[in-house]
Amino acid sequence: YHNNLFYLTGTRLGPKEKLDIPVVFMPDTMKMYEIVVVIHVMKENGENWLYEDSIELNKDLKSSVTVAENGGIQGILWMYPVHGIPEAPQQKLVPAVLRCQARERVKRRVEAQLSGVVPGAIAMPALENSDSVEINNSDNVQEEVQDTDGFSTTLEFQYELQYQSNEFQSQLASLVDIDLVEKEWGTQSGVVRLIFNIVFAPNRPMRNKATLVVRCSTGGVWKFTVLFIATEPEVDDVINIEAVGLNKESIVGFTLTSQTR
């Protein structure tokens, strides 16, 4: 939708009848769009609704009705704000994979390419693995993005990992840490590159998938798939039991330490 005003008049509704009002959103840039859908209802015969205190209408009610000269209510307004937030299509790319043994720790450098942040961008999103680097602890919101030509622009990015269910979130939330450590954009390519460090420290074997969601202050949303795989851990110890004789019990003791309360 656009900034222009569109009017739909002459729609007749009977008692208890429903009216569907379609709103179509087809963005051409990765930014948020805002409109207000206004519904204005009047009686078909031109009469007004009687309201004794129409002159003394409170402030909130004045914004939702139109008062006639004779004091009645001529029309009723409903106003529905609508926000259109474009989301980049998820490409069928190989997801970023973090794999390690349970009770070990792995750190990966992951790159997310955001298309459409710069006007005229045509590149599509991509997510790929690269070499591991040291983690730089930073906030969840980055205010400045440096471009490849030495200029800078004020852009804010928010990011989070979303899991497939509450069960997966409870399993992974405490095992995964993510930090944004590097960002840049090129005016020619129109693509913002965000570099993340993701740390995975599983405590047991698992295979779970998460979605890295990146939101820009201009309103765009990009999503990338991250796969977490934890394999069987190393054997803690070998327990040997020597038989003291046929048909006789042999006993050995060992200690297990709980990792939680």
Residue 104 pLDDT class (50, 70, 90 cuts) = very high
CA angle 86, 26, 158 (to 5 degrees): 5
Query: pLDDT band at residue 247, thresholds of 50, 70 and 90?
Result: very high
Token readout for 166 is 């509450």
Q: Are residues 69 and 101 in the same domain?
A: no
68 within a domain of the structure (yes/no): yes
Residue 211, pLDDT score = 92
The count of structural domains within the chain is 2
Averaged pLDDT score across all residues of the chain:
78
Q: Is there a domain that residue 131 lies in?
A: no
DSSP 226: E
Q: Same structural domain for residues 34 and 102?
A: no
| Same domain assignment for residues 6 and 105 | no
55 secondary structure, DSSP code: G
- Asked if residue 73 and residue 101 are part of one domain, the reply reads no
- The Cα 8–Cα 154 span in angstroms is 40
| Mean pLDDT (whole number) for 213-220 | 87
Q: What are the residues whose beta carbons fall under 8 Å from the beta carbon of 58, sequence distance 6 or more?
A: none
Structure tokens at 243: 């038989």
Does residue 147 lie within any of the structural domains?
no
The answer to whether position 242 is within a domain reads no
Residue-level pLDDT at 151: 37
56 and 36 within one domain: yes
Pairwise pLDDT comparison (99 vs 170), residue with the higher score: 99
Which one of 76-80, 125-129, 202-206 scores highest in mean pLDDT?
A: 202-206
Does 9 map to a domain? yes
Say if residue 64 is in the same domain as residue 104: no
CATH of the domain at 172: 2.60.40.2310
Residue 71 dihedral angles phi and psi, to the nearest 5°: 100, -10
- In this structure, are 159 and 215 located in the same domain? yes
Q: Rounded to whole angstroms, how far apart are CA atoms 36 and 79?
A: 6
**Phi and psi (nearest 5°) for 30?**
-85, 75
Residues 82 and 100 grouped into a single domain = no
Helix (H) or strand (E) holding 36: strand 33-41
Assess if residue 207 is contained within a domain: yes
CA dihedral 90, 91, 93, 95 (to 10 degrees): 0
Residues 107 and 199 in one domain: yes
- Is the distance from CB of 202 to CB of 230 less than 8 angstroms? yes
Eight-class DSSP state of 108: E
* Per-residue b or e along 98-127, where b marks 16 or more CB atoms closer than 10 Å to that residue's CB: bebeeeeebbbbbbbbbbbbbeebeeebeb
For 174-191, how does the pLDDT look when each residue is reduced to its tens digit (9 = 90+)? 999 999 999 887 666 668
Q: Show the tokens assigned to 201.
A: 């420290």
- Per the domain annotation, does 248 fall within a domain? no
Residues 47 and 102 in one domain: no
57/111 same-domain check: no
Tokens of residue 74, six digits: 């001529």
Q: What is the pLDDT of residue 37?
A: 87
Strand partners, 49: 73
Domain containing 195: what range? 96-119+155-231
In terms of DSSP bridges, do strands 176-186 and 141-147 run parallel, antiparallel, or are they unpaired?
parallel
Please count the other Cβ atoms lying within 10 Å of the Cβ belonging to residue 128.
13
Instruction: Determine, yes or no, domain membership for 142.
Output: no
pLDDT in tens, 50-71: 776 655 565 556 668 877 777 7
Shared domain for 112 and 20, answered yes or no, is: no
Pairing of strands 191-200, 106-115: antiparallel
